[in-house]
Structure 1
């Protein structure tokens, strides 16, 4: 008889198989990358300024929890490369909406805001009502006057 217990056991086995396949993919890719890095280091094709962050001394052997095989995991050097913070799509769109509302002293139509955002950011607002409700939650000075009309009320 097929019970919930049997179904859960089957699902657990499926998850185990999926995890093993994913870990194998990661292992293969990691091995390829490490091999390519060592080839580049051996051939000296890289500029001396752009030396690899991973040297053979930094490679540590780590065993997978799902198999008895061991894999090599590179450990980054002490120097860290700082990533620049990327401004997300939503944030760009919100800033463009605030900009048009602040610049104009009179009420602005939702369609005008939508066109402005598209021109400024290149992103299309999927649902204008939801988008503007988010804008209103972020800044209490943005207010909906009427159907499709929004205004930025400056504090006096």
Structure 2
């Protein structure tokens, strides 16, 4: 008897097969395009430095570009998934962090988070999706970055990392210090 569960399982199998065929077709087309680009580069041969750089780029993708064999279909599909690498965000984050620290050091008074965000985005060209998360992350890297209040940040080179800030007057800070 053919029930709904069997129909759904059959459809999942059909979808999986269709996905695998589509991936193979895309890989074959990509391989053809890169092969043609290599041929065009060889024909031009105008600038040796550019040609070497482009060939180096193309050669690094040779293993990925080759279409999978029918015998090793599943292995190639799995290995191509594992080969996909994400671009490194480290340089972007480092640049943004260094810019934030520099801006905070230049400011003698606390700066609003929105103003700091605009300045960082202007100078680096990168967007900050969540300023609070960004500032919390870089505060872990540099304990001298202090969040004074709601959305106010400063850089205090003299401050100890373990010191607690209490908003208000200095008398509150002294009173808290004497109670401990």
**1:109–1:149: 8 Å Cα contact kept in structure 2?**
yes
1:152 aligns to what? 155
From 100, 103, 107, the equivalent of 1:100 is: 103
Unaligned runs of 5+ in 1: 68-84
Q: How many residues align?
A: 133
Distance 1:116 1:36, change over 3 A: closer
Give 3-state SS (helix, strand or coil) of 1:87's partner.
helix
Give 3-state SS (helix, strand or coil) of 2:120's partner.
helix
Q: TM-score, normalised by structure 1?
A: 0.63
Report the Cα offset of residue 30 of structure 1: 0.8
Q: Aligned equivalents of 2:97 and 2:16: distance in 1?
A: 40
Q: Aligned equivalents of 2:40 and 2:110: distance in 1?
A: 63
**1:20–1:66: 8 Å Cα contact kept in structure 2?**
no
Q: Aligned equivalents of 1:20 and 1:61: distance in 2?
A: 11
Q: Deviations over 1:64-107 (max 9, x none)?
A: 4349xxxxxxxxxxxxxxxxx9832x433222211111233432
From 104, 122, 129, the equivalent of 2:125 is: 122
Give 3-state SS (helix, strand or coil) of 1:63's partner.
coil
Q: Aligned equivalents of 2:47 and 2:105: distance in 1?
A: 50
1:71 aligns to what? none
Q: Deviations over 1:27-60 (max 9, x none)?
A: 122123224423553xx421372365689xx998
2:4 aligns to what? 2
1:87 aligns to what? 91
Report the Cα offset of residue 145 of structure 1: 0.9
1:63 aligns to what? 69
Unaligned runs of 5+ in 2: 75-88, 160-180
2:32 aligns to what? 31
1:136 aligns to what? 139
From 109, 112, 136, the equivalent of 1:109 is: 112
Report the Cα offset of residue 61 of structure 1: 8.9
